[in-house]
């Protein structure tokens, strides 16, 4: 067993802030955020399970110094790659590899450029977390979003093979994207409250900013769905303007 | 406590619908299902699949039988396929949402839970299929003049049967999730998520698998010549547009749908948060120290 895998077995207690409110609040959102050690070795499978069922285990593992970020990144990359591949089947050809690549790249850039603001916003909520801890939280948020998108991939595929409407597929993907980010936000605010943040209002605000950034990123790296003559767009556009034009073209 | 083993015993349990018994069934470890006293160790999945295939095929046959016996055979094949494909497409996301919403179910338990619900539905509609068949035998010929009016009546009654069976199956599913999780709010939230996904995908798959009832003006077919051309929601929108204002743009339709969806989502979230007893003030002021 590697040293990394041995660490989560530690029985050292994790002391939470002197209030039961964060945990109760987290449970009210349907999120079981009990901070507890991973029952077995820390691998991709246990990290995925923890993301979905017991995010508190990730917090515990991170607090014990277990390297989670590479595993979380792998979960993100693999999930987004498969989701992108399914999106690519709408047009086929170049999009089969371009869409997964753009999704992974876009999410990575969005995460990187939003990280400084997450640090400041979480501090304003009273969270005293180290950048490394916050990076794990951010990666957990993105990984959960990506996992949900992977879960939605078969649904997207059913519609990709049966409809030509770019607007319909676009709306569907946008809906699933927002649902994924909604659950991602839950893990971020739940974890920050469990770690001692006074509130999660600034983190919620940050999540809105992050959502807008990902939507703009999807526009800047267009097309994710459909085809284009060039790999990247020649024209700069705001995402709302781009959507409006796409809908206008449908008419 | 359930001790009935074998397919028949399992199906009896399912039809009784006691949430406690079904919850215990759901908690049985893989490979030990039905291993009660004198149990033959029959698996859960085969029992549920037999119920779905049998019930849905019988009812499917009765739906298509009026158009032609061959159409009945086609629908008998398609209806169970529709159920399994819906579960296949939504299996992953149902499992994920079940876990995220706090149901505490594994992917396998989520799948079994959904199969139980579909099996209940299939048993209900399957049990009514002899009555529908008899009714069809007494019906006018599809190509006769009075056939068109009868077709509308047939559609209406069967829509009612499907709706009632669906409601019963989902009420039972809600009770089962509630028993399993021990919390009403989580159960309602989980059911809402699963139901939304299954209805959304099921509608599109049934559009692809049409015809089911067999319109008398159209030929007997396994699938329409263009099964993958278009989608259910666009077709509904075009029909609505024709009846409201043909000049309405598609973008308006998408925006209206998005606003309605967002509103429903926000309303559901607000209602579940308001009903959740855990969202009240903390009961214990002591520090949380979790080993």
Q: What would you measure as the largest C-alpha separation in chain A, in angstroms?
A: 63
pLDDT score of B36: 46
First to last CA, chain A: 61
CA A145 to chain CA centroid, Å, is: 4
Which of A137-151, A214-228, A230-244 is most confident? A137-151
Q: How far is the C-alpha of A168 from the C-alpha of A246, rounded, in Å?
A: 11
Average pLDDT across chain A, whole number: 82
For residue A163, what are its two tokens?
Answer: 């409809």
Contact B167/B10 with Cβ under 8 angstroms? no
* pLDDT for residue A18 is more than 90: no
Instruction: Inspect the interface and report whether the beta carbons of A167 and B249 lie closer than 8 Å.
Output: no
pLDDT score of A19: 40
Set of chain A residues whose Cβ sits within 8 Å of the Cβ of B197: 155
Q: How far is the C-alpha of B281 from the C-alpha of B279, rounded, in Å?
A: 7
Parallel, antiparallel, or unpaired: how do β-strands A14-15 and B289-290 relate?
antiparallel
Lowest mean pLDDT among A7-21, A158-172, B65-79, B261-275: A7-21
Contact B203/B124 with Cβ under 8 angstroms? no
Average the pLDDT over A139-162 and give the result. 94
What residue of A is the nearest CA neighbor of B259? A175
- What string of H, E and C letters represents the secondary structure of chain B? CCCCCHHHHHHHHHHHCCHHHHHHHHHCCCCCCCCCCCCCCCCHHHHHHHHHHHHHHHHHHHHHHCCCHHHHHHHHHHHHHHHHHHHHHHHHHHHHHHHHCCCCCCHHHHHHHHHHHHHHHHHHHHHHHHHHHHHHHCCCCCCCCCHHHHHHHHHHHHHHHHHHHHHHHHHHHHHHHHHHHCCHHHHHHHHHHHHHHHHHHHHHHHHHCCCCCCCCCCCCCCCCCCCCCCCHHHHHHHHHHHHHCCCCCHHHHHHHHHHHHHHHHHHHHHHHHHHCHHHCCCCCCCCCEEC
C-alpha pair distances (Å), A197 with each of A121, A188, A201, A243? 11, 11, 10, 37
Q: How far is the C-alpha of B290 from the C-alpha of B17, rounded, in Å?
A: 38
* pLDDT for residue A144 is more than 80: yes
The distance of B231 to chain A (nearest Cα, Å) reads: 6
Residue B258 at interface with chain A, using a CB cutoff of 8 Å: yes
Mean pLDDT, chain B cut into blocks of 10 residues (291 residues total)? 65 87 83 46 76 95 92 95 94 93 90 93 94 91 83 91 93 94 90 92 92 86 87 85 77 75 72 54 34 29
Residue B249 at interface with chain A, using a CB cutoff of 8 Å: yes
Model confidence over A174-210: pLDDT tens digits?
989 999 999 998 888 888 888 888 888 899 899 999 9
What residue of A is the nearest CA neighbor of B99? A53
Reported ipTM: the value is 0.79
pLDDT score of A20: 40
pLDDT score of B272: 62
Q: How far is the C-alpha of B152 from the C-alpha of B76, rounded, in Å?
A: 21
* pLDDT for residue A9 is more than 50: no
Residue B263 at interface with chain A, using a CB cutoff of 8 Å: no
Set of chain B residues whose Cβ sits within 8 Å of the Cβ of A13: 289-291
Q: How far is the C-alpha of B284 from the C-alpha of B1, rounded, in Å?
A: 36
* pLDDT for residue A169 is more than 50: yes
Share of chain A above pLDDT 70, in %: 85
Instruction: Inspect the interface and report whether the beta carbons of B282 and A21 lie closer than 8 Å.
Output: yes
CB proximity list for B7: less than 8 A, separation 6 or greater: B42, B46, B47, B50
Instruction: Inspect the interface and report whether the beta carbons of A163 and B231 lie closer than 8 Å.
Output: yes
The distance of B115 to chain A (nearest Cα, Å) reads: 18
Helix (H, G, I), strand (E, B) or coil at A78: helix
Contact B25/B48 with Cβ under 8 angstroms? no
CB proximity list for B82: less than 8 A, separation 6 or greater: B56, B202, B205, B206, B209
pLDDT score of A76: 95
- Helix (H) / strand (E) element for A206: namely helix A201-220
Instruction: Inspect the interface and report whether the beta carbons of A11 and B291 lie closer than 8 Å.
Output: yes
For residue B228, what are its two tokens?
Answer: 């993958």
Instruction: Inspect the interface and report whether the beta carbons of B96 and A159 lie closer than 8 Å.
Output: no
* Tally of CB atoms within 10 A around B20: 13
Interchain CB contacts (distance < 8 Å): A and B:
133
The distance of A62 to chain B (nearest Cα, Å) reads: 15
Q: How far is the C-alpha of A45 from the C-alpha of A24, rounded, in Å?
A: 27
Model confidence over A105-127: pLDDT tens digits?
999 999 999 999 999 999 888 88
pLDDT score of A115: 94
Pick from B201, B236, B254 the residue to mutate for testing the A interface (most A CBs within 10 Å).
B254
How many Cα atoms sit within 13 Å of A61 on the Cβ side?
29
Give the nearest partner residue to B284 out of A20, A150, A175, using CB atoms.
A20
Set of chain A residues whose Cβ sits within 8 Å of the Cβ of B254: 167-168, 171, 247
The distance of B185 to chain A (nearest Cα, Å) reads: 9
Q: How far is the C-alpha of A23 from the C-alpha of B223, rounded, in Å?
A: 53
Residue B226 at interface with chain A, using a CB cutoff of 8 Å: no
Instruction: Inspect the interface and report whether the beta carbons of A151 and B92 lie closer than 8 Å.
Output: yes
Give the nearest partner residue to A19 out of B92, B99, B282, using CB atoms.
B282
For residue A66, what are its two tokens?
Answer: 């277990």
């Amino acid at each position: 067993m590697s040293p990394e895998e041995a660490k989560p077995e530690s029985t050292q207690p994790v002391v939470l802030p002197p209030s039961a409110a964060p945990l109760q609040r987290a449970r009210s959102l349907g999120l079981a955020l009990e901070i507890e050690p991973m029952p077995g070795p820390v691998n991709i499978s246990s990290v995925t399970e923890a993301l979905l069922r017991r995010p508190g285990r990730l917090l515990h593992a991170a607090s014990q110094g277990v390297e989670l970020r590479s595993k979380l990144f792998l979960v993100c990359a693999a999930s987004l790659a498969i989701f992108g591949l399914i999106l690519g089947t709408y047009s086929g050809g170049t999009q089969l590899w371009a869409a997964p690549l753009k999704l992974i790249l876009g999410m990575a850039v969005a995460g990187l450029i939003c990280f400084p603001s997450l640090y400041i916003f979480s501090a304003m909520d009273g969270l005293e977390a180290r950048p490394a801890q916050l990076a794990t939280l951010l990666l957990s948020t993105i990984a959960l979003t990506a996992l949900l998108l992977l879960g939605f991939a078969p649904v997207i595929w059913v519609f990709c093979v049966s409809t030509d409407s770019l607007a319909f597929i676009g709306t569907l993907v946008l809906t699933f994207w927002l649902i994924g980010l909604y659950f991602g936000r839950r893990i971020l605010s739940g974890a920050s409250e469990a770690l001692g943040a006074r509130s999660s209002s600034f983190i919620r605000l940050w999540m809105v900013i992050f959502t807008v950034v990902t939507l703009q990123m999807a526009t800047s790296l267009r097309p994710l769905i459909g085809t284009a003559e060039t790999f990247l767009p020649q024209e700069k556009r705001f995402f709302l303007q781009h959507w409006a034009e796409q809908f206008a073209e449908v008419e | 406590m359930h001790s009935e083993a074998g397919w028949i015993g399992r199906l009896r349990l399912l039809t009784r619908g006691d949430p406690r018994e079904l919850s215990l069934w759901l908690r049985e470890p893989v490979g030990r299902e039905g291993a009660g006293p004198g149990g033959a160790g029959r698996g859960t999945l085969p029992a549920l699949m037999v119920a779905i295939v049998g019930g849905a095929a019988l009812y499917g046959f009765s739906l298509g039988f009026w158009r032609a016996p061959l159409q009945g055979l086609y629908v008998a094949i398609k209806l169970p396929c529709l159920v399994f494909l819906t579960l296949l497409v939504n299996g992953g996301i149902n499992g994920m949402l079940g876990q995220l919403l706090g149901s505490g179910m594994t992917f396998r338990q989520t799948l079994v839970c959904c199969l139980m619900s579909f099996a209940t539905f299939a048993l209900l509609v399957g049990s009514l299929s002899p009555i529908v068949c008899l009714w069809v035998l007494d019906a006018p010929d599809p190509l006769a003049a009075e056939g068109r009016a009868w077709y509308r009546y047939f559609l209406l009654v069967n829509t009612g049967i499907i709706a009632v069976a669906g409601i019963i199956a989902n009420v039972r599913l809600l009770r089962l999730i509630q028993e399993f999780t021990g919390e009403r709010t989580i159960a309602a939230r989980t059911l809402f998520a699963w139901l939304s996904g299954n209805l959304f995908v099921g509608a599109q798959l049934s559009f692809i698998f049409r015809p089911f009832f067999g319109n008398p003006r159209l030929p007997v077919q396994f699938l329409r010549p263009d099964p993958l051309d278009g989608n259910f929601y666009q077709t509904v929108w075009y029909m609505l547009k024709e009846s409201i204002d043909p000049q309405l743009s598609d973008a308006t339709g998408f925006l209206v749908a998005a606003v309605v969806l967002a509103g429903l989502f926000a309303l559901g979230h607000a209602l579940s948060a308001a009903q959740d007893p855990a969202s009240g003030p903390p009961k214990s002021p002591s520090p949380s120290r979790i080993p």
